[in-house]
Amino acid sequence: MTTPLLQAKDLRISFYGVQAADGVNLEIREGEFLAIIGPNGSGKTTFLNLCTGYLRPSSGEVYLDGKPITAMAPRTIARRGIARAFQIPQLFLDQTVLDNLMIAVAAKRGIWVPFRALGADGRRREAEELLALVGLDGEAQQLAGALPEGRRKLLDIVIALALKPRLVLLDEPTSGVSTIERFTLMETLMAALRRAKVTALFVEHDMDVVQRYADRVVVWDSGSVMAEGPPSEVFKDERVLRNVVGVA
Amino acid sequence: MRAALFLIALAALALAPIAAPWLQFVLTLALAKGFAALGVAVLLRGGLISIGHAMFYAVSAYAIAFLARAGLNEFVVLLLLGTLASALAGLLIGAFLVRYRAIFFAMLNLAMSMVLYALLSKLYGITGGTDGLRLAVPRFFGLALDKASFDTALYYAGLVLMLGVGYGVQRYLASPLGHALAAVHTNELRLEYLGVPVRFVLLIAYTISAALAGVGGAIAAMAISHILPEFAFWTASGHLVLVAVLGGIGGVAGPFIGSLFLEVLHTLAVGVTDAWNLIIGVALIGVIFFLPSGLYGLIRRRSGEPA
Ligand SMILES: Nc1ncnc2c1ncn2[C@@H]1O[C@H](COP(=O)(O)OP(=O)(O)OP(=O)(O)O)[C@@H](O)[C@H]1O
Ligand SMILES: [Mg+2]
């Protein structure tokens, strides 16, 4: 068996007595689209925080390609190929949409190019291509802070993709997006991910989206994995239906 | 339109000392403070406010006095070494300060500058204490000039430097590093998740800002010829922040506009009234309420460009 791209082993962390990760074991294999579902406050975002070095587990390890990354800073982990889009988009609100993306492109290529304009050396072109890919090209010159929530979400995702990651962690990519636009967004996103051959893990509350796009589903409950498998199986599970799908 | 305004302003600056010779010294000091205020403005881009930047102004001035005492007396060499001394001091102090943000950063800068001020005042044997150090007239590109001719040469050299250094800083701010600096202000978390070493970005900015204060300190030292601990006093640092905000931090020209405006206004006002602080206060309130991007923003708006 090949080494999983990302592997979490027995991760634990608690906040003021709440076990937000209570022995999490999870593997993500190269090329898969893995969905995480689970009730509010079950520790999904905490898991992403643990995997990206934002939080340090009290015990357990995270491995990327079989090598531990547990104690590393988010910056270092990002450089190793894990990018993240946030539940609440993290943008440079008083810069333009294009600048936001050019900064990401520059971050990937190396920001140490003194006296070269941000848009020079093909950075602008690359950023514009990415914007066009997700249909944000019309808003390129707007301030990121002026975008509506759904568009911010999208920009946050492309910023993550600009890093050309091997693995992208998406925290509720479709929240804040209307039900009608959700599938358009997911189609665009999936196409972009497939084209760039990026492995993806996404936390999602919309079961229709999960059903349609996930290769595998992991069900979270109170800080640990309660069930996992292909969507067709997981959604037949009594406990899952009762605890998660019903609530979510 | 903007280019025309720019050229008119530049021509006015170049001709001013000829039309009104008493203005030359005032303008030289205004340029010196403009450089230092530009340093403060660079940090403000990253959301960091330094109320201790006069320390780098003083480092350069004292470095020049020491070097002159050691026998170096060429303007260009003194200017470069003074600036270098400030940049090194900035690198050193910055390495410690870039961990801090907001009020902690501001206060630590203040504290550092107060320590320097105290040292400069007390180490009489080295710094001359509150008597300060005198500086002989340096040579100008090898030429031995009298004080008056040197002062004129210094002023025009300052103008040329303003253009050259200003252009360099503008390029820096427009580069990925400059944008990353602004991004530290808006979203440090996102920057970190992009794999950008935030502290490194800040350290570069801090070093550049210290070097800019150093250029100012060097010009001031050579214009005044008498270096005092007051160069590092906290009110001098406060003045730099005031100049930066008044002039506007949106563009490189802002701090110079602010500095020239204040210095000339000051000179004119003290002759007429002793309500100088009132004038400054009212001007600052006016700018903060009506011109959030400073005096420079006013010019940009008039010329139909977004401020
Ligand atoms: N930094 C933190 N400090 C304190 N408590 C935290 C912190 N992060 C998470 N928690 C707590 O840990 C639990 C899990 O939170 P988490 O955000 O991971 O849930 P989630 O599954 O992402 O929920 P949602 O679906 O609402 O996004 C919650 O009880 C939350 O209040
Ligand atoms: Mg969450």
Cross-chain Cβ contact B190/A92 below 8 Å: yes
Query: Which of A101, A135, A164 is the last residue in one of the domains?
Result: A164
Query: For position B304, what pLDDT does the model report?
Result: 46
Distance A60 CA to ligand 2 centre (A): 21
Which atom belonging to ligand 1 lies closest to the Cα atom of A205? 25
* Residue A15 sits in the same domain as residue A33: yes
* Residue A184 sits in the same domain as residue A247: yes
What does the domain layout of chain B look like in residue ranges?
21-233
Instruction: Residue A63: give its domain's CATH number.
Output: 3.40.50.300
Q: pTM (2 decimals)?
A: 0.92
Does A40 contact ligand 1 (Cβ within 6 A)?
yes
Q: CB of B291 within 8 A of CB of B297?
A: yes
Partner residue facing A106 (CB), from B176, B190, B197: B176
Q: CB of B215 within 8 A of CB of B61?
A: no
Provide the 3-class DSSP secondary structure of residue B140: strand
Cross-chain Cβ contact A75/B197 below 8 Å: yes
DSSP A213: H
Contacts across the A-B interface (CB distance below 8 Å): 91
| Separation CA B242–CA B36 (nearest Å) | 11
Token code pair at residue B135 = 């500086």
pLDDT tens-place string over residues B249-263: 778 998 999 999 888
* Residue A160 sits in the same domain as residue A190: no
Query: Which of A101, A131, A164 is the last residue in one of the domains?
Result: A164
**Nearest listed ligand to the Cα of residue A51:** 1
pLDDT tens-place string over residues A176-201: 888 888 888 899 889 889 988 999 99
Mean pLDDT of A157-165: 95
Token code pair at residue A130 = 């990415």
Total tally of structural domains belonging to chain A: 2
B45 contacts in A (CB within 8 Å)? Answer: none
Q: Where are the beta strands (DSSP E) in chain A?
A: 6-15, 18-28, 33-37, 59-64, 67-68, 82-85, 167-171, 199-203, 216-221, 224-229
pLDDT tens-place string over residues A8-47: 999 999 999 888 889 999 999 999 999 999 999 999 999 9
* Residue A14 sits in the same domain as residue A74: yes
Residue type, A45: T
The closest residue, in CA terms, to atom 12 on ligand 1 is A20
Which domain range does residue A26 map to?
Answer: 1-81+166-248
Distance A46 CA to ligand 1 centre (A): 6
* Residue A64 sits in the same domain as residue A170: yes
Cross-chain Cβ contact B175/A118 below 8 Å: yes
* Residue A102 sits in the same domain as residue A134: yes
Mutate to test the pocket of ligand 1, among A45, A54, A172, A219 (most ligand atoms within 8 A of CB): A45
pLDDT tens-place string over residues B267-279: 887 777 777 778 8
Low-confidence ranges of chain B (pLDDT < 50): 304-307
* Residue A52 sits in the same domain as residue A115: no
